[in-house]
Structure 1
Amino acid sequence: MTDRPTPYEVIVVGAGAGGGVIAGVLAEAGKRVLLLERGGTLDLATTKRDHLRNQRLSAYGVNAGPSGSHPRVFVDWKTGEARTLAPWEDGYSNNAAGIGGGTAVYGAQAWRFHPLDFRMASTYGVPDGSSLADWPIGYGDLAPFYQRAEREIGVAGDASAMIHLPPYEAPYPMAPFPVSRQGETLRRGADALGWATITPPLAVNTEPYGGRPACIRCQHCIGFACPVDSKNGSHNTLIPRALASGRCDLVVGAMAERLETDQAGRILGVTFFDADGQRVSVRAEVVVLAGGAIETARLLLNSRSPAHPGGIGNGNDQVGRNLQGHYYPTAVGLFSDDLWDGLGPGPSTAVTRFGHGNEGVIGGAMLADDFVQTPIITWKRRRDPDLPFWGAEAKEWMRRNYRRVTDVKGPVQEIPSPDARVTIDPLVTDRWGIPVVRLSGATHPETVRTATFMLDRAVEWLGAAGAVKIWGTPPSLALSGGQHQAGTCRMGEEPKTSVTDRFCRVHGHDNLYVGDGSVHVTNGGFNPFLTIMALAYRTADHITNHW
């Protein structure tokens, strides 16, 4: 084992949305930071534009990692069958692995959570068998950090249109994107229903911003790296700033193995394998885990010692529980005229009225039109279900209707279950010999009820917009996670039911923090990356002020 002698003050494990923010803020505050990332650079040259292998459609592989050296074990909740999966297989719950994490290839919808998203248990009660709880903080605690993220990352939108939220403290730094042709069609349908519509806020430049150009509207936003660097994330904002400070070292190809502690259990640092396969141990005053809700839980659980026989932070068997993501009930509509105008980046019309206050269900979701679909994704996900996947009739349908079909979908607020969880598999290891994750359980049945309600609303919207045929798949109980993974190290005041405190610090460890979606108590009815970043800014400020 190699010991790195450089005296770092902070080690950040994971260079994604949260880890990148924390590294940038701390380095600019004068801290000496080591940023560890298992992947590498995620730009157009490394991720390419392969329609068959990308983060949006991964049946044949992924373009932003991780590689096949990172298996996981998935347990079917209905049958109990355990399968070892590669990152591109269903059930893996993949997210990009590289500098910027998912922000390098995401769709960049930059929503704030609703105030009631932080008070779900108080608002709706706790369903039997669920672990639904309130956050220990509220919207007001995060509002200034939302604003900071919107300004420093760069978000385009219309703050005055966010009628579902309290008034913003300042406008977005950039104007919203124009409404697309399909968005205009959907707006006419929403008007007929009396539903207010807004343009989704996007972390994509509508004008030159932060030294990066405006979006060229190339249609390949989600699942791919931006060809002109106008899609904003930690990879082209906070991480470059951290490196420019001269106080942050970035190590790529670094696979974290375990946290190191002294005999009393105090966190000393991190042991990882470098790109050459050498085991390296490095120490720091503070460690921040930001590898995503699945890998962060894995690292804690794999850090067993006499002082922590069940893993660090797991004295109450909470690490890895409450795994969440988002259900995405989707209604597809076929129209008689062309909808697609050939312009990206994608969603231009959303409805937020169903986030809360829906009779008979818990929570809800934002609904919006979708990103531009590649032909193969349209073939797989939007094809008329009355047609086969092959043959002349199906091909003719694609030629005739590729521009006439669209869908409406939204990220449903999931009801967490303690049985939806991350544990360590007793048999399977990765290429470094590190025990891998075992994913098991399912979300709570109330999630399916809410998702079904939202699917009905999507169907209603498409019908009012003039769709001549509408279809969709009814939601069913399953384990969630994926690119919106959250919940496995939830924050709370009580260590018996949570892993971290209100400042994302692991209970019982004053120098160990979590900086990703793991800390989300609930995951909102919106895309979560802006909340991850807002929490990361808040956590970084806390570290700066206390260390």
Structure 2
Amino acid sequence: MPSEPHHDVCVIGTGAAGGVWIDACTRAGLDVIALERGPLLGPADFMRHDELTNTHRHDGFAPDWRNTLREDTSEVATPSHSASLAQCVGGGTAHWGAVCWRMREDEFRVLSSEGPVDGANLADWPIGYEDLAPYYDRAERRLGVAGRAGSNPFEPPRASSYPNPAHPPRRATLALERGAEKLGQHPFPTPLAVNPRPYDGRGMCLNAGQCSTFGCPTQAKASTLSIHIPAARLTGRLDLRPRTRVVELAAGKDGRVRAARTIDAEGHEREVRARTFVLAAGSLGSAHLLLSSRSARFPNGLANGSGQVGRNLMFHILSYAGFELPEPSMGAFGPVGMVSVDDLHPSRASRGFIRGAIVSEAPEPGPLWAAYKAHEYLGSETGAWGKPLKDFLRRYAYLGSLISTGEDLPQHGNRIDLDPDHVDDLGIALPRITHRSHPNDLALARYFEEQMKEIALAAGAVRAYGFDFSRAKGGSGHIMGTCRMGSDPATSVVGRDCRSHEVPNLYVPDGSCFPTSSGYNPTLTIFANADRAAAQFLARRKRRETT
């Protein structure tokens, strides 16, 4: 297999974590090679606002990503495309909804706050909010987050305002604000990494209304594709390799990663060598690659002497409430989720479950989605057909929805491993997802569904409907865990600096390192934590060079 010259850093994956490391390392003068399984796309590739292509067929995601799925180890896993994984330069940030939450202080101390919970594997993070706060500031400035500081009475302390003002509300947003206020809640503008005005060389939002699962043709929606990767390329120190799949991380006798073995779209195999390897392929991709990288020294997978790689897999559990307003809302125009309430988030013993969720105006349903879910709107057990379906779709402009992003408690048995019965086209075992929602998660989801219907009715909706997403694994697109960050090598995979406990030149700074999922969208925390880990790596490297 041909071998390449050594690089300072090899980054695998170009999403939130990978993009931050690529940018930070090239700015620091290091030579970086970035390996990305998907293609390099540009604004012209995102001009088609095609719901069928983007939302249902998931073009631009991972058409060749396959896994198997089961709820329990007693079941036989069956092939599935359950996890919606973005696959292109920019990763999930090219297709995300751009919602940017900071985790609250208590989100980093779940075990200390709640105590042990039967069937769950709770843990405290080895870092706290104070460790991430300056990196949250940096991430918000870099992404150009639009919001209104202080409008959420439950937000954690912050040192600065948002770099962009909040987007102006639309008609449905104003109605939901009134409804929440009637119930004694405190609605506020959702912080969004979407430009309401030109910012840092990127255009402003044109209100196409198709942020989530779509790429942005004006680059108003922040992404590593539009910010971090271009900045790194300008340094001349980035070797970007799209359409390149890493099939194995090969370790040397000293226990360090020696090379990444790759295969490109033309079938060419190569070995990429570097001093340091940064694995940022997402919770499923990172764990799958580690488990697939077996050797005499690491018989259970690279960096997996503890047996923890792949465990504590978490998906946010979603609740939806659809509603119909008495007048057109024009809700499909503008960025997603423009208003939120956080009043219901903190744990309350009286509710019969712990933890909580953020409630937001949801990405508005496209017409295909509305048709697909019409039977739930109409309360039909057998589907929606004929005149009832046509009458319903004529009122499409009157529809809206709310979503809650509920915390998924980590469980030791929720994991990915290698499926012994299914392989991909290269003969590599598929990742097998085993995931069953904890009873606490299901109770939380039911509670928030009812609360959101109350908000919608208080907003003047003529009807409100709940949707059951309890079995929709990966439906949120928020996949966390599998390479837990912690101080004990026996119960975690990486330390507080996101460096492997066992492999000293391997870092895993993506969402896989999350010990718990929180009840907030994770991407801003991935940006901030990856930036923190990269800064520590660069500081350590500089000290080593000057001593």
- Tell whether the structures are fold-level matches, with TM greater than 0.5: yes
Give 1:379-418 correspondences, 5 Å limit. 379-381=371-373, 384-387=377-380, 388-399=383-394, 401-418=395-412
Give 1:111-130 correspondences, 5 Å limit. 111-130=101-120
Of stretches 17-26 and 156-165 in structure 1, the one that deviates more from structure 2 is 156-165
Question: Which of 320, 343, 355 lines up with 1:363 in the alignment?
Answer: 355
Structure 2: which amino acid aligns with 1:293?
S
Of stretches 303-312 and 508-517 in structure 1, the one that deviates more from structure 2 is 508-517
User: Alignment partner of 2:23: what SS?
Assistant: helix
Work out whether 1:540 is the aligned partner of 2:540: no
Aligned pairs, number: 535
Q: Work out whether residues 324 and 481 of structure 1, in 8 Å CA contact, stay in contact via their aligned partners in 2.
A: no
Q: Which residue number in structure 2 is paired with residue 11 of structure 1?
A: 10
RMSD: 1.7
Q: Over residues 244-292 of structure 1, what are the superposed CA-to-partner deviations in whole Å (9 max), with x where a residue is unaligned?
A: 1111110011111111111232222211112221221111111000000
Q: Work out whether residues 345 and 372 of structure 1, in 8 Å CA contact, stay in contact via their aligned partners in 2.
A: no
Q: Which residue number in structure 2 is paired with residue 46 of structure 1?
A: 45
Give 1:310-325 correspondences, 5 Å limit. 310-325=300-315
User: Alignment partner of 2:418: what SS?
Assistant: strand
Q: Over residues 386-406 of structure 1, what are the superposed CA-to-partner deviations in whole Å (9 max), with x where a residue is unaligned?
A: 35322122111210x212221
Give 1:61-460 correspondences, 5 Å limit. 61-68=57-64, 70-77=65-72, 80-85=75-80, 89=81, 91=82, 93-340=83-330, 343-358=333-348, 359=350, 360-381=352-373, 384-387=377-380, 388-399=383-394, 401-460=395-454
Q: How far off its partner does 1:342 sit? A: 5.4
Q: Which residue number in structure 2 is paired with residue 526 of structure 1?
A: 520
Q: Work out whether residues 483 and 512 of structure 2, in 8 Å CA contact, stay in contact via their aligned partners in 1.
A: yes
Q: Which residue number in structure 1 is paired with residue 494 of structure 2?
A: 500
Q: Work out whether residues 487 and 496 of structure 2, in 8 Å CA contact, stay in contact via their aligned partners in 1.
A: yes
Distance 2:105 2:200 in 1: 30
Of stretches 104-113 and 45-54 in structure 1, the one that deviates more from structure 2 is 45-54
Q: Work out whether residues 12 and 19 of structure 1, in 8 Å CA contact, stay in contact via their aligned partners in 2.
A: yes
Structure 2: which amino acid aligns with 1:20?
G
Structure 2: which amino acid aligns with 1:148?
R
Q: Work out whether residues 12 and 33 of structure 1, in 8 Å CA contact, stay in contact via their aligned partners in 2.
A: yes
Distance 1:328 1:296 in 2: 24
1:331/1:482 Cα in 2 relative to 1: closer, same or farther (>3 Å)?
Answer: closer
Distance 1:382 1:175 in 2: 36
User: Alignment partner of 1:52: what SS?
Assistant: helix
Q: How far off its partner does 1:450 sit? A: 1.5
Q: Over residues 393-426 of structure 1, what are the superposed CA-to-partner deviations in whole Å (9 max), with x where a residue is unaligned?
A: 2111210x21222111111011111111110112
Q: Over residues 490-517 of structure 1, what are the superposed CA-to-partner deviations in whole Å (9 max), with x where a residue is unaligned?
A: 1011111111111111112221101210
Of stretches 245-254 and 156-165 in structure 1, the one that deviates more from structure 2 is 156-165
Identity %: 36
Distance 2:475 2:313 in 1: 6
Q: How far off its partner does 1:317 sit? A: 1.0
Q: How far off its partner does 1:82 sit? A: 2.2
Q: Over residues 52-103 of structure 1, what are the superposed CA-to-partner deviations in whole Å (9 max), with x where a residue is unaligned?
A: 132xx33xx22113123x3222224397132223xxx4x2x12110111111
TM-score normalised per structure 2: 0.94
Q: Work out whether residues 374 and 392 of structure 2, in 8 Å CA contact, stay in contact via their aligned partners in 1.
A: no
Q: Work out whether residues 317 and 470 of structure 2, in 8 Å CA contact, stay in contact via their aligned partners in 1.
A: no
Q: Work out whether residues 331 and 399 of structure 2, in 8 Å CA contact, stay in contact via their aligned partners in 1.
A: no
Distance 2:227 2:149 in 1: 22
Q: Work out whether residues 115 and 165 of structure 1, in 8 Å CA contact, stay in contact via their aligned partners in 2.
A: no
Q: Work out whether residues 262 and 268 of structure 1, in 8 Å CA contact, stay in contact via their aligned partners in 2.
A: yes
Mark the runs of 5 or more structure 1 residues left unpaired by the alignment. Answer: none
User: Alignment partner of 2:126: what SS?
Assistant: coil
Distance 2:474 2:409 in 1: 11
Distance 2:75 2:525 in 1: 34
Mark the runs of 5 or more structure 2 residues left unpaired by the alignment. Answer: 542-547
Q: Work out whether residues 345 and 355 of structure 2, in 8 Å CA contact, stay in contact via their aligned partners in 1.
A: yes
TM-score normalised per structure 1: 0.94
User: Alignment partner of 1:159: what SS?
Assistant: coil
